[in-house]
Amino acid sequence: MAVLACGSPVFAQPPQPSERVTFDDAIKRAIARNPSSAIAAADILRADGLLTQARSDTRLQITGNAIATTLNRGIEFDGTTVTPRSSVTGVLDFRYPLYAPVLWARRVEAADNRDVAVIGAAETRRQTAIATAEAYLAIIARRRVIEANVRSRDVASAHLDLASELEQRGSGSRLNRLRAAQEVSIDNGFIETARFALYAAQEALGVLLAADGPVDAANEPNFDVPPDPALGAALAARIDLKLFTAEQHAAERVLADNSKSYFPVLDGIFEPQTTYPSQFFVPANSWRALLQMNIVLFDSGSRAGERVIRQSAVDAARARVAGKTTTISSELRTAREAVASAERVLATERQAAEQANQVVAIVNISFRAGASTNIEVIDAQRRARDADTNVAVAEDAVRRARFDLLNALGRFP
């Protein structure tokens, strides 16, 4: 009883963020510093390397070969050295693919994969921006909840002061004072819970920004709802759909190139050669030119199996594109309706909160005059606290609905 009758307990405050950022700066920093962006950039670099390798296979190749030979003894004939005991032979191999459909197809496929990596990096940046925006909005919403609980606690504290004063005068009761103190304690517990939730959101934002500690939100973003565009414009702006479409295009090209694996490969080869010391039957310097053709005559079904694998990749890619197109259409319709519904709910909750606060003011006056009971005051305070919390939740729902609409339209970030 003594503890309940005491004033507001002192809670340990969570670590305060050392930095506050605006919404736009948070998005830019997250895209620039988040490790996922670095991983996406590494994927593009890898795709560039694979494209360079594929291109090199279709271009001139020069290989040098040096051979030092030592025999157990040289060969002589009629006092003339036919084969020296030690000799060095140097050969250069110039090789160029004159006809290589398979290599040419691989070069184009590598270029397609590079395009996919670039779009994939853009999609990674978009996902990072979305996660950052959600953490930022969570900070704003949880701060509103704290403010609502603090207002409720302040009203409850004022009522506790009045109940204590009335008890000292003899016109109040100890029971009324304890009930008022209980409301203050309950509100303090809500405040502590909300403060930790705010701190968790600040830590999440700090992680996304690659900061060494929690980061706070400095402003409330304004998501302007654009006019309703055509569905085709929304589909054209969605990066995730562009990624799936690029993957489908790459898979279809690989499947179309499967027949090229049955074509022969023709190489033009030029090999100059030098030998020291010169031998009796071998000139010191010579060269030869070759046309070399390679063709697989029988592979036991390897290429047929490869075609089945490529066909399955195409089917899966087409299914992903079709599914994403349907999902985007649904997301767009739902987001539009969510904005309208959330705005209606917010207007209703604000009206309810205003009415609840008026009830609290009236009941407090009545309680001072002895026309209402302590139970009625506490009930009014609880309803006002719940109404203020509902307003904070409704405001967050409106912000998130507008944000989701921008995402559905492909206009964020």
**What average pLDDT does range 299-322 have in this prediction?**
94
Could you give the CA distance from residue 359 to residue 250 in angstroms, rounded to a whole number?
66
Q: Quote the tokens at residue 218.
A: 């400095």
pLDDT tier at 7 (50, 70, 90 boundaries)? Answer: very low
Whether the predicted pLDDT of 8 surpasses 70:
no
Q: What pTM was computed for the model?
A: 0.81
Q: Which residues of 362-375 are buried (b: 16+ CB within 10 A; e: fewer)?
A: ebbeebeeeebebe
Whether the predicted pLDDT of 118 surpasses 90:
yes
pLDDT tens per residue, range 226-248: 777 667 788 888 999 999 999 99
Whole-number pLDDT of residue 225: 78
Whether the predicted pLDDT of 5 surpasses 60:
no
Average pLDDT value for the chain: 89
Whole-number pLDDT of residue 12: 58
Could you give the CA distance from residue 322 to residue 327 in angstroms, rounded to a whole number?
9
Whether the predicted pLDDT of 122 surpasses 60:
yes
For residue 333, being part of any structural domain is answered with yes
CATH number (domain holding residue 170): 1.20.1600.10
pLDDT tens per residue, range 258-300: 999 999 999 999 999 998 887 777 788 999 999 999 998 898 9
Residue 9 to residues 3, 4, 317: CA-CA distances in angstroms? Answer: 9, 10, 60
Contact predicate 88/275, CB 8 Å: yes
Q: Which helix (H) or strand (E) holds 270?
A: strand 265-276
Contact predicate 241/235, CB 8 Å: yes
For residue 88, being part of any structural domain is answered with yes
For residue 32, being part of any structural domain is answered with yes
H helices present in 170-301, as ranges: 174-208, 231-237, 239-256
Whole-number pLDDT of residue 270: 96
pLDDT tens per residue, range 35-73: 998 999 999 999 999 999 999 999 999 999 999 999 888
For residue 413, being part of any structural domain is answered with no
Whole-number pLDDT of residue 40: 92
Whether the predicted pLDDT of 6 surpasses 50:
no
**What average pLDDT does range 8-24 have in this prediction?**
73
Whole-number pLDDT of residue 179: 86
CA-derived radius of gyration, the chain: 38
Nearest to 24 by CA among 132, 131, 126, 142: 132
Largest CA distance in the chain: 143
Three-state secondary structure call for residue 67: strand
Contact predicate 389/376, CB 8 Å: no
pLDDT tier at 371 (50, 70, 90 boundaries)? Answer: confident
Could you give the CA distance from residue 193 to residue 197 in angstroms, rounded to a whole number?
6
Three-state secondary structure call for residue 152: helix
pLDDT tens per residue, range 71-111: 888 887 776 777 888 989 999 999 999 999 999 999 999 99
Whether the predicted pLDDT of 305 surpasses 90:
yes
For residue 289, being part of any structural domain is answered with yes
Could you give the CA distance from residue 147 to residue 338 in angstroms, rounded to a whole number?
26
Proportion of the chain above pLDDT 90, given as a percent = 60
For residue 214, being part of any structural domain is answered with yes
Whether the predicted pLDDT of 1 surpasses 50:
no
The label of the residue with tokens 């504290």 reads 157
For residue 44, being part of any structural domain is answered with yes
Looking at the structure of the chain, the number of domains it has is 1
Boundaries of domain holding 80 = 2-408
267 DSSP β-pair partners: 97, 292
For residue 233, being part of any structural domain is answered with yes
Whole-number pLDDT of residue 265: 94
Proportion of the chain above pLDDT 70, given as a percent = 95
Could you give the CA distance from residue 264 to residue 81 in angstroms, rounded to a whole number?
45
